[in-house]
Amino acid sequence: MSKNVSIKYALDWTTVFYFVVLVLMGWISIYGASYDFDQASIFDFDQRAGKQFIWILTAIGIAGVLLLVDSKMYSIFAYVIYGAAILLLILTIFVAKDIKGSRSWLEIGPVSFQPAELAKMATALALSKFMSSYNYKLKNWKDLIPLGVIIFLPFSLIILQNETGSALVFVAFLLMLYREGMNGIVLLLGTFAIFLFIIVIRYSIIPIQIDHGSLGIVLAMSIILIVQAGYAFFFTKHQKESIILVLGAIGIALISYIINIWYHLNYDTVTIITIIASCIYWTVIEIMNRYKKYWFMILFSLISVAFSFSAYYLFDKVLEPHQQIRIKVLLSMEEDLNGAGYNVNQSKIAIGSGGFWGKGFLNGTQTKLKYVPEQDTDFIFCTVGEEHGFWGSTLVLFFYWLLLMRLLRIAERQRDSFSRVYAYCVTSILFFHLTINIGMVLGIMPVIGIPLPFFSYGGSSLWGFTILLFILLRLDAARLERMR
Amino acid sequence: MINDTLQNRRTVIAIIITVVIVIYILRLFSIQIIESRYKEGADSNAFFKKTQFPPRGLIYDRNHTLLVYNKPAYNIALIMREIRELDTLAFCKALNISKEYFIKRIAEIRDRKKNYGYSSYTPQLFMTQLGIEDIATIQQSMYKYPGFYIQNRTLREYAFPNAAHVLGSIGEVSQAKIESDSYYKQGDYTGRDGIEKTYEKQLRGVKGVEVLLRDAKGRIKGKYENGKEDVAPKAGENLNLTLDAQLQVLAEKLLKGKMGSVVAIEPSTGEILAMVSNPSFNPSILVGRQRSKNYMQLVRDPLKPLMNRATQAQYSPGSAFKPIQALVCQQMGGISANTLFSCSGPGSSPIKCTHSHGSPVSLLSAIEQSCNPYFWNAFKVTVEKNGYGEKNILFRTNYDEWADKMKSFGLGEKFTDGDIYEQSRGYIPTQKFYNKVYRAETGWRAITIRSLSIGQGEVLVTPLQLANSMAVIANNGYYITPHLNRCDSMRKKIHRCKVDKKYFPIVYEGMCRVFESGTARASRIEGLVMCGKTGTVENSHGDNHSIFVGFAPRENPKIAIAVVVENAGYGSLYAAPIFSLLVEQFIYRKIKRTELLNKTCVTVTNSNVKER
Ligand SMILES: [Zn+2]
């Protein structure tokens, strides 16, 4: 009894409030999205909104149970839970029925759910446990390998279920790792890699001159050179040398252009030779000046070159046609309004037609008339955009921002690293879902089907996010208990 | 415990999160508030605007006999992107079309060069103007062909096979018209000629629209906001014509086997009682799917049945010109009722007389006997009454006055304030014209243009203008623009002619004597005093045209008529009986002279003119 009372005081009610607000807004949006002209009640259990009501009630029940469990149990059983989740994922691959090519749903009686949703929580717990263990150091290679395994195992199993979207969520743990000491360069390099990838793919279709190499590669190589020169100019004493490099590169560009008038020259080759030459150039400077700051930059340049060339190969040969088209549509290389671009186009129409005030609750024509596919799950944000306009959408985003900021605050006030790491895991996962889902709906992220936390219809995802969040709240409440 | 340097990274993460959310809010602002195309996109997705076609106005004659009404017709429309798993063979069989035709039509619809407004999202017309019998089979199995729709339309139906030229026809609107008038959409009908064209705006009504909600699969989900945005169609206004259906039918009967035309006008109102052009055609052949085929056949016909001879053919009026000549010459002071000129019969010079009668002749007997030398002399003394003057100026001034007075009878110009779409101008030669023909202002005199005095030569009139000139005489000096729409506003368009009232009685008397002792004795009606004038017009293309103009009864004239029978010979022989029978029909509503009627009906003057 005394424990219940203490939970009541120790619980972070602000987070609970944000949770309730988001879940309710989601529920109303689902009602709006699945509303048909002859449907009346939000509590009609044959309808999506009625079913979601049951999911909400059960989720609250689960949340209550999670709060009653002793906080130490989460840490003690972290690996057990992780192991169970892995087994469940393996089981799923063999047992699950094929639904549109994906084998990710387990059916237990009338209820079906996705173990992948639980795997996020389990992995978060396992990571927290491992990283809070005595003697653990992120910089230690020996520790990095098990860390990688913990993340990679569920990641690859979910890939095997053909749920690439859900698997990508595990990339989110990079944000947690950054907080826990991973070199920030990794995030920068990751961003740079995405940037290079987009440049190479986006401009690969544009030839500079016919049969003279692609604009994408030339641009990518130029960017690498600029990074070299910029680094040397701003972070070392070799300003003069960096200017020489830039002038030299421009010189090579002009000379190769002139040569091309008489003699066939491939610009791709020219740029690679230029990059290699620049690497030799910096090596010479390094040796002559006994200045040991360039080896990393040279390594970076060579890897970037390799990445740029493999990016195109990856895109062309490894990605499947439907994935290629998604990326092409996103990069405005193709307009395929009846095919891959249809969903996003209709979703933009839905949101864009909402205007400032929206069309009013249950008045959205795009969503009522089913122009937006999956409008109560992955594309649920369309309903908000169409019926409640700019102010409604902004309000929803504002609540997500409040929640994420609150979670960061909770994370930082933890006294033990288990809770802190877990808190960052939760924050990272929610942030990743939010970024990808809203970005997709707004047409600035590729179409990756992952739900909007607390909003999208579906028991699995609502339960998954609720469990994720309320374990954190339980751990946070324990912080005060221990203080007493 | 916690590494303090790493705590800064919370701030970095908070900034990353905030930046992403701010970018998304900016993106929302951009697509929801700045760009408007998404709103339009949503509307064109969701709202299916179904056009509601109003019934076209009905057309009645002056006695409220229904002439033109509507019958249901059907279009087959398609929405290209909704067509799924089409069983082309079954579809073609149900519509009774060939597979080749189907493929050709689909290709035409998709071809943006032919079909400018093509979109796979909007209804396109596949076949139009189908009758109930054409769609009976497919109507029950329409559900098998998603993407195809039946649209309800109406077509014209005619109570009589007559008055084709007056009524005109409707057809699909042309691309040029769509571009110039935003009311029309592809596949709409519009009046192409005749009354249907002149009164298009009244007859067509105003289209309505029904706003329906359409879901992503193209299914209609009901009315938007319970029809709040709907606009009900406004039915077209009915039209009461001035035509007398019975008179019209009789006139067409009388022109059988002849090439020519009849125009009958009520002088006191300017209302056209009958307007016939032969060869003609049944108006119902220009309706529906057969329209273009039949239309092309009519276009290719060497007898030009599409031409409305009553308003578009131009003839020299010949002797039918003489009553007006008599009026103008009196007004200009060239002659008076007592003026006598001598006539030497066929031996007269420079114009010979076609009749033998006593000499000298008075104006009265000149009209009665249609004496050519008299009118030549009258014309000469009128235009040369002041001599010639320096550079022929006095003569030319008089000629201008003569031409101007002629035009005041409604000759030589189109009736621009009327409602007849197809009209020719006719021609009263101008001074400028003769100056040019005779190469100098001094190059011509009365003798040069003498054929004008007897209505030959360059002067041209249409049968409508001729009938109207009779109305002027019947009215003692004015006419109301001849028109087809029976309404008050049309009766107010009064035009005075430039001849005083006092000069009319003698012309009346002369025209009256034409029936008593003159050229039309044979066409008298017992107990009815009529006025008329025969005309036999020489023309270069064959036998003389037979013309008769006149009005009846002499007191309070009820009807003025012009009859032209091409290449038939003497006016008294062919045109006068037609005039007489029409008058009898209109005044007595019954024809007693059945023998004359039958004889006139079977008279064939042009064996090529067959009944269609
Ligand atoms: Zn004579």
> For chain B, what are the domain ranges?
2-34, 49-240, 245-280+305-611
Asked which of A49-53, A327-331, B608-612 is least confident by mean pLDDT, the reply is B608-612
The answer to whether the beta carbons of residues B242 and B212 sit under 8 Å apart is no
| Nearest one of B568, B424, B13, B280 to A172, comparing CA atoms | B13
Q: Which two tokens stand for residue A58?
A: 């059960």
| Same domain membership, residue A29 and residue A168 | yes
- Rounded to whole angstroms, how far apart are CA atoms B165 and B155? 18
Q: Are residues A167 and A66 in the same domain?
A: yes
* Same fold flag, B49-240 and B245-280+305-611: no
Residue A228 sits in the same domain as residue A350: no
Of A274, A293, A327, which one is at a domain's C-terminal end?
A327
**CA distances for B51 relative to A385, B123, B172, B189, B209, angstroms:** 31, 11, 16, 13, 5
Q: How confident is the model at residue A208 (pLDDT cuts 50, 70, 90)?
A: low
Supply φ then ψ for residue B265, to 5 degrees: -125, 145
User: Could you tell me if A86 and A130 lie in one domain?
Assistant: yes
A136 and A61 within one domain: yes
Q: How confident is the model at residue A2 (pLDDT cuts 50, 70, 90)?
A: very low
Nearest to A29 by CA among A252, A413, A344, A362: A362
**CATH number corresponding to B49-240:** 3.90.1310.10
pLDDT at residue A96 tops 90 = no
Least confident of A361-365, A467-471, B15-19: A361-365
pLDDT at position B1, please? 42
- Does residue A363 sit within a domain? yes
pLDDT at B291: 83
Is residue A393 over pLDDT 90?
Answer: yes
A259 in Cβ contact with A209 (< 8 Å):
no
CB B273, CB B266: distance < 8 Å: yes
> Is position A149 within any domain?
yes
Which chain B residue is nearest to residue A445, measuring alpha carbons?
Answer: B24
Residues 439-458 of chain A with CB under 8 A from chain B are 439, 442, 444
CA dist list (Å): A470 to A65, A68, A118, A426, B193: 9, 11, 13, 10, 81
Residues 6 or more apart from B456 whose CB is under 8 A from it?
A: B316, B318, B537, B538
Percentage of chain A surpassing pLDDT 90?
34
- Least confident range of B207-221, B277-291, B376-390, B519-533: B207-221
pLDDT tens-place string over residues A165-204 = 888 899 999 999 888 888 888 888 888 888 888 888 877 7
The torsion angles phi and psi of B602, rounded to 5 degrees, stand at -90, -5
Q: Which residues contact B316 (CB under 8 A, 6 or more apart)?
A: B455, B456, B457, B459, B460, B461, B537, B538, B539
More confident residue, A412 or A5: A412
pLDDT of residue B468: 95
Let me know if residue A170 belongs to a domain.
Answer: yes
Mean pLDDT of A222-245: 85
- Tokens at B540, concatenated: 């270069």
Residue A62 in domain? yes
Cross-chain CB nearest to A369 (options B12, B27, B216): B216
Per DSSP (E only), the strands in A20-108 are 106-108
Report, as an integer, the average pLDDT of B328-351: 89
* Residue of A183, A344, A371 to mutate when probing chain B, most B C-beta within 10 A: A371
Report the candidate in A460, A388, A397 with the shortest Cα–Cα distance to residue A434. A397
**Residue B158 confidence (pLDDT):** 93
For chain A, how many structural domains are there in total?
2
Cβ-based contacts of B41 with chain A (< 8 Å) = 349, 352-353
Q: Are the C-beta atoms of residues B74 and B134 closer than 8 Å to each other?
A: yes
Element (H, E) at A116: helix A115-131
Asked if residue A431 and residue A361 are part of one domain, the reply reads yes
Q: Is A371 an interface residue toward B (CB < 8 Å)? A: yes
How does pLDDT run across B213-255, given as a tens digit for each residue?
877 766 677 777 777 778 888 999 999 999 999 999 999 999 9
Instruction: Flag whether pLDDT at A206 surpasses 60.
Output: yes
A366 and B46 within 8 Å at the Cβ level: the answer is yes
Q: What residue type is B496 in one-letter code?
A: R
CA distances from B321 to A47, B340, B342, B547, B574 (A): 90, 19, 20, 10, 18
User: Quick one: A234 and A139 in the same domain?
Assistant: no
Q: Are residues A317 and A425 in the same domain?
A: no
Residue contact B46–A404, C-beta within 8 A: no
pLDDT at B47 (0 to 100): 80
pLDDT for position B311: 94
Q: How far, in whole angstroms, is CA B368 from its chain's centroid?
A: 36
Decide if pLDDT at B572 tops 50. yes
pLDDT value for B427: 94
User: A392 and A354 share a domain?
Assistant: yes
The ipTM assigned to this model is 0.89
Residue A43 and residue A206: Cα distance in Å, rounded?
55
Shortest distance, CA A179 to any CA of chain B (angstroms) = 6
Burial of A172 (0-12, 13-18, 19+ CB in 10 A): buried
Domain boundary among A327, A361, A377: A327
> What pLDDT does residue A336 have?
62
Residue with tokens 């009900």: B232
pLDDT value at residue B120: 72
Distances (CA, A) of A274 to A221, A249, A270, A281, A294: 9, 7, 6, 10, 17
Q: What band does A95 get if pLDDT is binned at 50, 70 and 90? A: confident
**Which pLDDT score is estimated for B82?**
76
Q: Is B277 helix (H, G, I), strand (E, B) or coil?
A: strand
State the Cα–Cα distance between residues B526 and B552, nearest whole angstrom: 13
Position A193 scores a pLDDT of 86
Instruction: State residue A155's pLDDT score.
Output: 93
| Residue A352 counted as domain residue | yes
Please report where in the chains the tokens 């969701």 appear, as a residue: B46
| B18 and chain A in contact, CB less than 8 A | yes
Are β-strands B239-240 and B220-223 bridged in parallel, bridged antiparallel, or unpaired? unpaired
Is the Cβ of B29 closer than 8 Å to some Cβ of chain A? yes
Q: What is the pLDDT of residue A220?
A: 87
Question: Which of A338, A366, A393 has the CB atom closest to B42's CB atom?
Answer: A366
Provide DSSP, B119-183. -TTS-EEEEEEE-HHHHHHHHHTGGGSTTEEEEEEEEEEESSS--HHHH--EEEPPHHHHHH-TT
As a whole number of angstroms, the distance between CA B557 and CA A48 comes to 85
Tell me the average pLDDT across B520-525. 87
Residue whose pair of structure tokens reads 């950054």 in the numeric block = A178
Q: What is the Cα B229 distance to its own chain's centre?
A: 38
Cα-Cα-Cα-Cα dihedral of B487, B489, B495, B501, to 10°?
A: 70
Rounded to the nearest 10 degrees, the angle between the axes of helix A215-235 and helix A184-204 is 150
Residue A414: closest C-alpha in chain B: B2
- Report which of B494, B499, B513 is spatially closest to residue B554, judged by C-alpha positions: B513
pLDDT at position A1: 40
The Cβ of residue A58 has, within 10 Å, a number of other Cβ atoms equal to 15
Give every CB contact of residue B326 below 8 A, 6+ residues apart in sequence: B335, B363, B366, B367, B375, B378, B506, B507, B510
pLDDT at A39: 56
Share of chain A above pLDDT 70, in %: 92
Three-state DSSP string of B214-266:
ECCCCCEEEEHHHHCCCECCECCCCEEECCCHHHHHHHHHHCCCCCEEEEEEE
pLDDT, mean of residues A227-241: 83
Least confident of A420-434, B45-59, B256-270: B45-59
Q: What is the tally of helices (H) and strands (E) in chain A?
A: 20, 2
Q: Where are the alpha helices (DSSP H) in A35-70?
A: 48-68
pLDDT at A397: 97
Contacts with B31 from chain A: Cβ below 8 Å: 348, 351-352, 442
Task: Give the A window 252-291 contacts with B, CB below 8 Å.
Answer: none
- Quickly tell me which residue has 């005095």 as its tokens: B453
DSSP B447-507: TTTGGGGGT-TT-BB-HHHHHHHHHHHHTTSEEE--BSB-STGGGG-EEE-SS-GGGHHHH
* Dihedral angle sign, alpha carbons of residues A241, A245, A250, A251: positive
Express as a percent the part of chain B with pLDDT over 90. 49
Instruction: Average the pLDDT over each of A152-161, A313-322, B146-155, B231-240 and give the range with the smallest value.
Output: A313-322
Which structural domain, as residue segments, surrounds residue A109? Answer: 3-183+336-481
Provide the pairing of β-strand B59-60 with B239-240: parallel
Rg (CA), chain A: 26
Cite the beta strand spans of A73-129 per DSSP E.
Answer: 106-108, 111-113
Q: In this structure, is the dihedral angle defined by the CA atoms of residues A442, A445, A450 and A452, taken in order, positive or negative?
A: negative
CA distance B198 to chain A (A): 44
Per-residue pLDDT band for B583 (boundaries 50, 70, 90) equals very high
**Inter-chain touch B27–A412, beta carbons under 8 Å:** no
- Check CB contact under 8 Å for B18 and A401: yes
Same domain, yes or no: A371 and A466? yes
Partners of A435 on chain B (C-beta within 8 Å) are 20
* Same-domain status, A50 and A156: yes
Place A37 in a pLDDT band, splitting at 50, 70 and 90: low
**Do the beta carbons of residue A294 and residue A286 sit within 8 Å?**
yes
Rounded average pLDDT over B85-94 = 87
Whole-angstrom distance, CA of residue B335 vs CA of residue B339: 6
Q: Compute the average pLDDT of residues B464-493.
A: 94
What is the pLDDT averaged over residues B508-526? 88
Of A348, A405, A411, the CB nearest to B38: A348
Assess B11–A contact: CB distance below 8 Å, yes or no.
no
| The pLDDT value given to residue B2 | 47
Q: Token pair of B449, please?
A: 């243009």
Please list every residue in chain A whose beta carbon sits closer than 8 Å to the beta carbon of residue B16.
175
Q: Are residues A315 and A365 in the same domain?
A: no
Residue A200 lies in a domain: no
Q: Is the distance from CB of B353 to CB of B308 less than 8 angstroms?
A: no
Statement: residue A86 has pLDDT above 80: yes
Residue-wise pLDDT for B23-43, tens only, equals: 999 999 999 998 888 888 788
- Say yes or no: B21 contacts chain A, CB-CB below 8 A: yes
For residue A339, name the pLDDT band (cuts at 50, 70, 90).
low
First-to-last alpha carbon distance for chain B, in angstroms, is 110
Q: With 50 as the cut, is the pLDDT of residue B93 above it?
A: yes
Task: Provide mean pLDDT across the span B100-128.
Answer: 81
CA–CA distances in Å: residue B392 to residues A30, B379, B429, B435, B450: 98, 17, 17, 11, 17
How much of chain B exceeds pLDDT 70, in percent? 98
Rounded alpha-carbon distances, angstroms, from residue B94 to B91, B144, B147: 5, 11, 16
CATH architecture for the domain at B245-280+305-611 = 3-Layer(aba) Sandwich (3.40)
Which pLDDT belongs to residue A207? 66
What is the model's pLDDT at position A484? 45
Mean pLDDT calculated for residue range A395-409: 96
Measure the CA–CA gap between B331 and B81, rounded to whole angstroms: 76
